[in-house]
Structure 1
Amino acid sequence: MSGFRQRHLTMIALGGAIGSGLFVGTGAGIAAAGPGVLLSFAAAAGLALLVLRMLGEMAAAYPSTGAFSFHAEKALGRWAGFTVGWLYWSALVVVLAVEATGAATIAAGWLPAVPQWAWVLLFMTAFTAVNLVGTREFGEFEYWFAWIKVAAIIAFLAVGVLAIVGLLPGTSPVGLTNLTAQGFLPHGWAGAVAGLLVVVFAFGGIEVVTIAAAETDDPAASVAKAIKDSVLRVVVFYLGSLAVVVTLLPHDDDAVTRSPYVAVLEHLGIPGAAQLMSAVIFLALLSALNATLYGASRMLSNLADRDDAPKSLRTNGVPRRAVLFSTAFGFVSVLLNALYPDTVFLVLISAAGSTVLIVWALITISQLRLRRHLEHHAPNRLTFRMWAFPYLSYLALAGITAIVVLMATDPVARIQLLCAAGVTAVVLICAVIHTRGTARPAEEPPGFQFDQRVG
């Protein structure tokens, strides 16, 4: 088989969660919550890991490149599979443009003579080409990209800890001054909540591992191992590196808001380290772009395999037509960068952000239904299980609901939520029209027919 190896899948799991959300987006979270952003990130990480565990259970039971879209169809009906698949795809193609824009911003700073839109055009063209090659070649490419990010974070943690305890040359122990000078929660619990609304979206991207698992030799075992290997590492990388930032620098430092990781290295006076971190952030954004395009193309081709997208996009080896279709919006972002180079990044993030929460909610509901079905009808498929079912599944659903309610009360976040609600309404209407009178035949209870064709 020419699919992924286990090492590819593990690094895709890590790499999918390490992108602009960690390296760039954390600055806004620190500005909103101060040191209390650690609590915000802990809550967001806990929720994301519960969702990841539920995804792993379903992917191990029913491997499919359609992943949670396929699972939603099995659990809730064809309308749900259609809705989840197209919602997720629409969010990913926007993220493509976001990641390309972020990388282009950095590159334009290095070579200002080259306009930002030209960099976006270059990146989108290059990674379209990467995704048109074989699956194994893509996996190898993303493996080394992800390793660069992981190695950089490990190095950052090591340098940061040495600086905090005063063992780095030219430093003395920092203590807890920056954590307590203005209080751990300088803006109160409202600040921590505001920080949560900013940082929760940093974990968007973890879902791609369950899509990739379907292209391994042993999907059930591969996804279980990848998730087990990545859970602790994601928590350590996110919370550990963030703890270094807020311990070493005041949370209200403008440099922290702009780029917290570069700010730390500049503060420590390590020669060339800040430039190196900028390069790492640049590569991290390109890696996230690469993985995002992979996830979007596989989701789209699986929708086509299930007759929920144009037949011309159906899988035939590498889904080249789905890759090209998915990059279309990325190329549109070239024009957006030419017209609005200073604002397009924020606008695109706002358009995509809240859709992740809607997808996570449908993932959770799907897992609750599928798990009960599996326990009664196919317990042999439960080779990887959600922790403390059903209590933690309901806790995750409650957490997602709480975040949506909090967003509705926040003037800025409310705009994102309304955009997501509008997109969801449009997709739901399309789902009802498309699936009316076309339910798939089923010998098992509706929504649970296991069909190898759609897997």
Structure 2
Amino acid sequence: MTAVGITEPQELKRGLKSRHIQLIALGGAIGTGLFLGIAQTIKMAGPSVLLGYGIAGVIAFLIMRQLGEMVVDEPVAGSFSYFADKYCGHLPGFLSGWNYWVLYVLVSMAELTAVGIYVQYWWPGVPTWVSALIFFCVINAISLLNVKAFGEMEFWFALVKVVAIIGMIVFGAYLLASGDAGPQASVANLWQHGGFFPNGWQGLVMAMAVIMFSFGGLELVGITAAEADDPSTTIPRATNQAIYRILIFYIGALGILLSLYPWQNVVTGGSPFVLIFHALDSNLVATALNVVVLTAALSVYNSGVYCNTRMLFGLAKQGNAPRALLHLNRRGVPLVALGVSALATGACVVVNYFMPGEAFEVLMGLVVSALIINWAMISWIHLRFRAQKKIEGKTTLFQSLGYPFTNYLCLVFLAGILVIMYLTPGLRISVYLIPVWLAALGVGYWIKQSKAKA
């Protein structure tokens, strides 16, 4: 496809295979939440964090199945923003689309911040904003290539993470079995130091908000639908396989980590996996793992760049964003949408310059707030979607599990996460910002409608 006038309808090219989509879903979720964010959850919940990741994983899977049912039935650009617009009205479509775009701008900023932290493992004197700026430029330059190139790059990015996590689990198990990790390493660490719930159930409950951050990105499967070669086959396969792999990787890796090292000794300031293997005198493994966690952060940022450009493209097709965002380059990449998203994400460099120590925690809180809005919208939209299909007398090919009970279960769970965030001093500001953010989107929608009527 050649670049054409922005007033003409344009379509994204299909070029993502099943292996691309499966690894994109995995890559979107296996990132900073696992490699950096877990230090905070371990300090709050101790070994019971394993149960927390299991619970959050089940909720994430249910929401993935709800989204999966819709995108298999209608594989379009914009994903749930399109469904919100069609089944719930123009305002929900506007809100969900722009919220998801901002969500992944924030995710991208958090991942770039993490890149700076990881680089400091080797070069402590390099400011986080410098590393963020360098990789920001590199990834956005690569994103100018076609979607197949993105799929290949993300496939290999994610594959490195998956192989590394499996290798870490195997190596950690070897250290435990052989005794080479020292006398402090034992499976008994899971219950000896204050029990499985050292801070009580309250500790686990309070950790759930941060745990949710780890599962953001699974819904990327829905964004890929418009560029998947065979959505009716690839989307269900990716949805079903991604979740049990995520649970194995998260719970398996955390189980090994907490067995090798008493939970109360886990420190912040870098990836716990890297720091623990460093403390065990496995410097070579620690260095290799730091390469992996750096790759993980870049992988999620790469997915974020893809996601943001496609969401803006979808919003423009719905009339919820300027039509200039429909412009594709000759490789089929939404060029203007890419540029706008890059400019917004570039604020990360500024945040890291002025708030180098607090940037990651601040961004993580904002991400969780936007993620809750996004996931709640998916469950609500799915309720309306199924109701409409029932009226039409149609049956979908890839049905969600436990409809409608699981929809309400997910909504109640997400509301509970908001309560937890409100009770957590460092995250409370994020809850306060939710109504402000929704009101700002409402004003934006009103302005758009006013211009349309003029």
TM-score (ref. length: structure 1): 0.91
Q: Aligned residue for 1:184? A: 196
Q: Aligned match of 2:385 in 343, 360, 370?
A: 370
Q: Aligned residue for 1:5? A: 17
Kindly state the Cα deviation for residue 8 of structure 1 after the two structures are TM-superposed: 0.6
Q: Aligned residue for 1:225? A: 237
Give the counterpart letter for 1:281 in structure 2.
V
Secondary structure at 1:386 match in 2 = coil
1:305 and 2:317 aligned: yes
Q: Aligned residue for 2:6? A: none
Q: Aligned residue for 1:149? A: 161
Relative to structure 1, the CA distance from residue 409 to residue 334 in structure 2 (aligned partners, 3 Å threshold; closer, same or farther) is closer
Relative to structure 1, the CA distance from residue 115 to residue 270 in structure 2 (aligned partners, 3 Å threshold; closer, same or farther) is closer
Kindly state the Cα deviation for residue 237 of structure 1 after the two structures are TM-superposed: 0.7
Relative to structure 1, the CA distance from residue 294 to residue 341 in structure 2 (aligned partners, 3 Å threshold; closer, same or farther) is same
Higher alpha-carbon deviation: 255-264 or 287-296: 255-264
Task: Indicate if the aligned counterparts of 1:256 and 1:263 stay in contact, CA closer than 8 A.
Answer: no
1:51 and 2:63 aligned: yes
Q: Aligned residue for 1:167? A: 178
Q: Aligned residue for 2:401? A: 387
Q: Aligned match of 1:361 in 372, 376, 383?
A: 376
Q: Aligned residue for 1:447? A: none
Higher alpha-carbon deviation: 237-246 or 258-267: 258-267
Higher alpha-carbon deviation: 409-418 or 104-113: 104-113
Relative to structure 1, the CA distance from residue 347 to residue 402 in structure 2 (aligned partners, 3 Å threshold; closer, same or farther) is closer
Higher alpha-carbon deviation: 341-350 or 270-279: 341-350
Give the counterpart letter for 1:334 in structure 2.
V
Q: Aligned residue for 1:70? A: 82
1:275-424 to 2 correspondences below 5 Å: 275-316=287-328, 317-377=332-392, 379-380=394-395, 382-424=396-438
Task: Indicate if the aligned counterparts of 1:179 and 1:247 stay in contact, CA closer than 8 A.
Answer: no
Q: Aligned residue for 2:117? A: 105
Secondary structure at 2:398 match in 1 = coil
Task: Indicate if the aligned counterparts of 2:52 and 2:208 stay in contact, CA closer than 8 A.
Answer: yes
Task: Indicate if the aligned counterparts of 2:83 and 2:93 stay in contact, CA closer than 8 A.
Answer: yes
For 1:245 and 1:251, locate their aligned partners in 2 and report how far apart those are by CA, in whole Å. 9
Kindly state the Cα deviation for residue 377 of structure 1 after the two structures are TM-superposed: 1.6
Secondary structure at 1:366 match in 2 = helix
For 1:358 and 1:251, locate their aligned partners in 2 and report how far apart those are by CA, in whole Å. 32
Q: Aligned residue for 1:448? A: none
Moved over 6 A (4+): 436-439
Relative to structure 1, the CA distance from residue 256 to residue 184 in structure 2 (aligned partners, 3 Å threshold; closer, same or farther) is farther
Query: Per-residue displacement from partner, 1:234-257 (whole Å, max 9, x unpaired)?
Result: 111111111112222211114378
Task: Indicate if the aligned counterparts of 1:313 and 1:319 stay in contact, CA closer than 8 A.
Answer: yes
Relative to structure 1, the CA distance from residue 121 to residue 32 in structure 2 (aligned partners, 3 Å threshold; closer, same or farther) is same
Q: Aligned residue for 1:445? A: none
1:71-86 to 2 correspondences below 5 Å: 71-86=83-98
Relative to structure 1, the CA distance from residue 287 to residue 65 in structure 2 (aligned partners, 3 Å threshold; closer, same or farther) is same
Kindly state the Cα deviation for residue 418 of structure 1 after the two structures are TM-superposed: 1.2
Secondary structure at 1:353 match in 2 = helix
For 1:96 and 1:37, locate their aligned partners in 2 and report how far apart those are by CA, in whole Å. 25
Q: Aligned residue for 1:200? A: 212
Give the counterpart letter for 1:388 in structure 2.
G
For 1:167 and 1:212, locate their aligned partners in 2 and report how far apart those are by CA, in whole Å. 44
Relative to structure 1, the CA distance from residue 256 to residue 328 in structure 2 (aligned partners, 3 Å threshold; closer, same or farther) is closer
Query: Per-residue displacement from partner, 1:88-141 (whole Å, max 9, x unpaired)?
Result: 111211221211111022224423564432222211111111211100011001
For 2:289 and 2:434, locate their aligned partners in 1 and report how far apart those are by CA, in whole Å. 33
Root mean square deviation, CA, Å: 2.1
Higher alpha-carbon deviation: 230-239 or 253-262: 253-262
TM-score (ref. length: structure 2): 0.91
Percent of pairs identical after alignment? 34
Task: Indicate if the aligned counterparts of 2:173 and 2:256 stay in contact, CA closer than 8 A.
Answer: yes
Kindly state the Cα deviation for residue 177 of structure 1 after the two structures are TM-superposed: 3.6
For 1:230 and 1:168, locate their aligned partners in 2 and report how far apart those are by CA, in whole Å. 33
